Structure 1
């Protein structure tokens, strides 16, 4: 699927990289909140520095997969999403931002604002 994709975000190894990055971000033990950080570079690999980009890739891959593979990936992602929601804080100003997204993971507080 990755090899045949015409998506900018989906390329060979992107699903594995996204899943590893998502797990890595959520790995630190403890109860302290986690804050996604914006990537300083938008190149194919550096963009994964922002865990939200990794989650974007996982979402897009799920949308493109056949039903059985989609449900298998969803089984891996769903518990990670629960941890992400538990370990990050809601952004109380998300509804006011000029740059908005339909994805819930962008409506959580990040280390840097969208303005840099």
Structure 2
């Protein structure tokens, strides 16, 4: 994991970024209860503020997972998979995701979010 973080050219993947993304993902899913959760869009896209949007944290985890060797990928995957299940259970599908101007291959962007006025 450290090798991926140090060698990856992405602005968002840096030493400690995977840990930060995992902590942010857990933090978002932590509130007890059954009420739906709505990811918030980040106001700023800098490497620090971008983690305000939990979907960005999940992006980072996915990017790291794609680049890890098989064994390390499986280890991180065992941490991420149950969090994904909670995310799916605690967020709602976006019925208009297919109509959005931008589309993504990532399922976590096809969930309802609390969007900024220009989002």
C-alpha distance after superposition, 1:38-82 (max 9, x if no partner): 000110011000000000000000000000000000000000000
Moved more, 2-11 or 84-93: 2-11
Once the two structures are superposed, the pairs formed by residues 1-116 of structure 1 within 5 Å of their partners are 1=3, 2-112=5-115, 115-116=118-119
Following TM superposition, the consecutive aligned residue runs of length 4 or more in structure 1 with deviations greater than 4 angstroms are none
**How many residues in Structure 1 have an aligned counterpart in Structure 2?**
116
Distance 1:78 1:42, change over 3 A: same
2-structure distance, mates of 1:114, 1:8: 26
2-structure distance, mates of 1:37, 1:99: 17
- TM-score, normalised relative to structure 2: 0.94
Distance 1:109 1:72, change over 3 A: same
Query: Which segments of 5 or more consecutive residues in structure 2 lack a partner in the other structure?
Result: none
2-structure distance, mates of 1:31, 1:110: 17
1-structure distance, mates of 2:117, 2:55: 13
- TM-score, normalised relative to structure 1: 0.97
* RMSD (CA atoms): 1.1
1-structure distance, mates of 2:69, 2:60: 16
